[in-house]
């Protein structure tokens, strides 16, 4: 089993593509980022996604995303302790890459779901604004 890279570890090279893949390059991380962009904030919300991420992997990836500064967690309940997860500005900056992946898949991978126009029209600043608004609520 591959041990996931942590924020305090060195990247395998200085190549920006390889380094980005060291952070995001597994089958679950971008799905979690997608879910955060589309408004999911709680552990149970992520589990309801159609990809059915296992709980142990979800826990690991949320920790990893937090360590790399792509999301923040905020406690919303004390007993039992439960958290909400929100993208940071650094995490929201991945939105154009997600949109490009969606467009590429729709063009080259038959039977992929068409990305909603509302998703494709979002800008990173829209996502950060929504998150800031949620934090104040």
CATH number of the domain to which 119 belongs: 1.10.10.10
SS3 state of residue 45: helix
In a domain, 134, yes or no: no
In a domain, 6, yes or no: no
Residue 3: the pLDDT is 46
Residue 11: the pLDDT is 85
Residue 8: the pLDDT is 60
Q: Provide the domain count of the chain.
A: 1
In a domain, 2, yes or no: no
Residue 112: the pLDDT is 95
Residues 126, 134: contact at Cβ < 8 Å?
no
Q: How far apart are CA 60 and CA 1, in angstroms?
A: 14
> Residue 38 belongs to what domain range?
16-129
**Per-10-residue mean pLDDT for the chain, 137 residues long?**
58 91 95 95 96 97 95 93 94 97 96 94 80 45
């Amino acid at each position: 089993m591959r041990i996931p890279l942590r924020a305090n570890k060195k990247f395998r090279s200085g190549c920006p593509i390889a380094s980005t893949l060291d952070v995001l390059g597994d089958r679950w991380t971008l799905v979690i980022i997608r879910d955060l962009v589309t408004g999911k904030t709680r552990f149970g919300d992520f589990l309801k996604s159609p990809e059915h991420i296992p709980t142990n992997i979800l826990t690991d990836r949320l920790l990893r995303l937090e360590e790399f500064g792509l999301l923040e967690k905020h406690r919303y309940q004390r007993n039992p302790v439960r958290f909400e997860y929100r993208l940071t500005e650094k995490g929201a900056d991945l939105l154009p890459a997600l949109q490009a992946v969606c467009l590429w898949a729709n063009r080259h991978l038959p039977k992929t779901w068409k990305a909603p126009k509302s998703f494709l029209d979002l800008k990173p600043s829209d996502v950060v604004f929504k998150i800031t608004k949620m934090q104040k609520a």
